[in-house]
Amino acid sequence: MQEKNFFRRTKIATNDAEEITLRSHR
């Protein structure tokens, strides 16, 4: 159960980082 939560959190963090990167390049 905890592993699933960890993966979900990592995915969200990655998405946030990508969004910030895209915003910075504009």
What are the sequence ranges of the domains in the chain?
Answer: 1-26
Q: What distance lies between CA 2 and its chain's CA centroid?
A: 17
pLDDT at residue 25, as a whole number: 76
pLDDT at residue 2, as a whole number: 84
- Centre a 10 Å sphere on the Cβ of residue 12 and count the other Cβ atoms it contains: 10
Q: 1-26 pLDDT, tens per residue?
A: 688 899 999 999 999 999 999 998 77
Quickly list DSSP for 1-26: -HHHHHHHHHHHHHHHHHHHHHHHH-
pLDDT at residue 26, as a whole number: 74
